[in-house]
Amino acid sequence: MAINAEEFRAAMGTWPSGVTIITARAGEEIHGMTVSDFSGVSLDPPLVLVCASKSSHTTSVIQKGENFGVNVLRVDQDALSNKFASKKNEWNRFDDVATFEVKTGAPLIADALVNLDCRLVALHDAGDHVLCVGEIESATVNEGQPLLYFKGGYGRFEPKG
């Protein structure tokens, strides 16, 4: 018998990750949400994947527009992470957030640690989520420290002395 939701959360919560905001554009419509399930996939071609809930509005914009932006958050951007995860004022998430575009039209968050502009190349069904695979069209890497997520809380990277 498969494990229950509580057991799944307890197990997966021990896997530390960075925090991203995944953004997308379909015509005039833009949207975005906080995502920790992000991974590099392939070097040649350069592919990444995002594990997105089927019930998320961002997922439907990714599917419609066939693009997404990956914005890796800085250590001091936990409030931005919470803003893009909250359903309260969901349609105003981009208020006061400076963005820019490069090739695909996905809005990229100006002061993130890393911005990847991705063209959607594949979607894979995975239970209540969908794996969105994107080819990186452009990458911007800035100096700074990442925001980390572990056991349901935020933290910072501390190098071993």
Ligand X SMILES: Cc1cc2nc3c(=O)[nH]c(=O)nc-3n(C[C@H](O)[C@H](O)[C@H](O)COP(=O)(O)O)c2cc1C
Q: Is 85 in the site for ligand X (CB under 6 A)?
A: yes
Nearer CB in complex with ligand X: 1/32: 32
Nearer CB in complex with ligand X: 90/101: 90
Nearer CB in complex with ligand X: 53/63: 53
Contacting residue, 23, 48, 58, 117, with ligand X by CB under 6 A: 58
Contacts of 133 (CB under 8 A, 6+ apart): 41, 47, 48, 49, 120, 121, 122, 123, 124
Contacting residue, 2, 14, 79, 87, with ligand X by CB under 6 A: 87
Contacting residue, 24, 48, 49, 52, with ligand X by CB under 6 A: 52
Contacting residue, 56, 63, 138, 140, with ligand X by CB under 6 A: 56
* Residue among 64, 83, 75 nearest 21 (CA): 83
8-37 binders of ligand X (CB under 6 A): 19, 33-37
Q: CA of 150: how far to CAs of 12, 58, 104, 157, in Å?
A: 9, 23, 32, 11
- DSSP character string of 21-34: EEEEEETTEEEEEE
* Residue among 113, 106, 87, 90 nearest 20 (CA): 113
Q: Is 57 in the site for ligand X (CB under 6 A)?
A: yes
Residues near ligand X (CB under 6 A): 19, 33-37, 51-53, 56-58, 81, 85, 87, 90, 149
